[in-house]
């Protein structure tokens, strides 16, 4: 497999359909999905009724935004209110293929259809091809990423090494002993693997056979991408999606944003009203995946982006998302996990000596840093606080105990995201 064939071709003809045809196709799919969800998913019926609507009111694409958006925060409570995930699901839990759990905790039901989460076209665009041997470094235990992103590799005919995260030494050994041509995981982890190997006197081009990487779960800066591409002599591409929705958008060989997936409808909306914004404006990404099993119609992701509609050199015709430009609400995504202030509050209740706290996310030197600032009423080991936080949120913060005379402001927000991005286009 030479590099030209990796960056050429498309996975599905829908990737090159004319814009008008695409708009028409997507409209008919979501209209039918809404009709089906009305009869089979009581939670959707209740949402429509709350706005005084029935499917008969959704006659044209102009009517579509009348459907109130569904927020991720609502999912957590809604899923527990009754059978079939509170009426969000159109099938029984036992008839699914898998039931994943994401932090929140939120259940992510997977139906039995092939390429259920729609990542195959994204992996193809990233250069994965039949007969690649791929090291999967996302986790498999109580987190969806590993298995969920293994599905497209199976669809494309790749073989997978389910390595999971961590164990850097072993990862290096496997990658340099066996003809591993693909990597899936976080770019920062691939960097750690590279640096470890270099420290052992290995040469990333000579001792590795990596040709392509699909990275996700953290912001990929152009400097990190170029560093990795140059040192290994490989492609590094990313996709954007969530565990609830599957693939939303993905990069192509030509870069310049992420093409919208052919299997969902993406709207860029005013975060307050849920109304679509004029093309090119920054707004919240609202997604309707074409998923009749779990019809999350008009799901508001909380991520901010804008659409790029200029033609792309790769030949794909779908508009692109210009990266993720921020968060629309008060959650922050660190290492692929959302941090919700209410989860932190729950965790901190377990350490009574913590009087007050604040989560501070920053990115010195482009690397995400998670700090938990705490005011104590009596002494406690920072390790104890760290462990309780990690147990509840699956992330390990640096704990900073405020000393004499240091206090959190009375109106301090529970979460501060100070991250800045040098190439935040
Ligand atoms: Zn393209």
Low pLDDT (below 50) residues in the chain: 424-425
Q: Find the 18 Cα to ligand 1 centroid distance in Å.
A: 14
Can you tell me whether residue 358 is helix, strand or coil? strand
Output the CA angle 164-168-172, nearest 5 degrees.
Answer: 100
CA pair distance 76, 71, nearest whole angstrom: 9
Distance of CA 254 from the midpoint of ligand 1 (Å): 5
Burial 308-336 (b: 16+ CB within 10 A, else e): beeebebebbbbbbbbbbebbeebbbbbb
**Domains of the chain, CATH where assigned:** 3-21+97-330 (3.40.50.12780), 334-417 (3.30.300.30)
What's the gap in Å between 312 CA and the centre of ligand 1?
5
Q: How far is the CA of 151 from the centre of ligand 1 (A)?
A: 23
Q: How far is the CA of 255 from the centre of ligand 1 (A)?
A: 6
59 Cα–ligand 1 center, Å: 32
Contact in structure between 299 and 69 (CB atoms under 8 Å) = yes
- 141 CA to centre of ligand 1 in angstroms: 34
Distance 253 CA to ligand 1 centre (A): 6
If you measure from the C-alpha of residue 291 to the centroid of ligand 1, how many angstroms do you get, rounded to a whole number? 25
pLDDT for the residue numbered 424: 42
CA of 323 to the centre of ligand 1 (A): 14
């Amino acid at each position: 497999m030479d590099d030209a064939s990796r960056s050429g071709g498309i996975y599905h003809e829908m990737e090159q359909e004319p814009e008008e045809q695409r708009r028409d196709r997507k409209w008919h799919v979501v209209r039918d999905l809404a009709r089906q969800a009305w009869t089979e998913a009581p939670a959707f019926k209740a949402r429509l009724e709350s706005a005084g609507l029935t499917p008969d009111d959704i006659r044209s694409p102009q009517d579509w935004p009348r459907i109130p958006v569904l927020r991720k925060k609502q999912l957590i409570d809604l899923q527990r209110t009754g059978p079939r995930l509170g009426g969000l699901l159109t099938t029984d839990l036992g008839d699914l293929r898998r039931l994943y759990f994401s932090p929140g905790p939120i259940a992510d039901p997977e139906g039995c259809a092939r390429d259920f989460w729609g990542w195959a076209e994204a992996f193809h665009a990233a250069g994965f091809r039949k007969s690649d041997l791929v090291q999967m470094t996302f986790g498999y235990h109580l987190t969806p990423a590993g298995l969920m992103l293994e599905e497209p590799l199976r669809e494309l005919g790749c073989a997978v090494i389910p390595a999971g995260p961590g164990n850097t030494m072993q990862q290096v050994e496997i990658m340099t002993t066996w003809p591993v041509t693909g990597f899936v995981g976080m770019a920062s982890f691939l960097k750690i693997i590279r640096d470890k190997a270099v420290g052992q006197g290995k040469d990333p081009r000579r001792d590795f056979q990596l040709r392509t990487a699909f990275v996700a779960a953290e912001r990929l800066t152009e400097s990190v991408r170029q560093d990795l591409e140059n040192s290994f002599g490989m492609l590094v591409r990313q996709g954007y999606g969530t565990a609830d929705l599957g693939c939303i958008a993905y990069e192509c060989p030509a870069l310049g944003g992420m093409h919208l997936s052919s299997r969902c409808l993406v709207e860029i909306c005013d975060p307050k009203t849920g109304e679509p914004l004029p093309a090119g404006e920054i707004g919240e990404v609202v997604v309707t995946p074409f998923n009749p099993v779990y019809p999350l119609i008009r799901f508001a992701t909380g991520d901010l982006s804008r659409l790029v509609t200029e033609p792309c050199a790769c030949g794909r015709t779908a508009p692109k998302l210009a990266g993720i430009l921020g968060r629309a609400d008060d959650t922050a995504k660190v290492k692929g996990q959302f941090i919700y202030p209410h989860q932190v509050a729950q965790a901190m209740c377990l350490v009574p000596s913590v009087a007050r706290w604040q989560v501070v996310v920053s990115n010195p030197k482009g690397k995400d840093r998670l700090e938990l600032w705490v005011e104590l009423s009596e002494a406690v080991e920072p390790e104890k606080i760290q462990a309780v936080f990690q147990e509840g949120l699956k992330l390990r913060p640096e704990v900073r105990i405020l000393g004499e005379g240091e206090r959190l402001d009375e109106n301090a927000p529970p979460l501060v995201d100070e991250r800045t991005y040098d190439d935040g286009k």
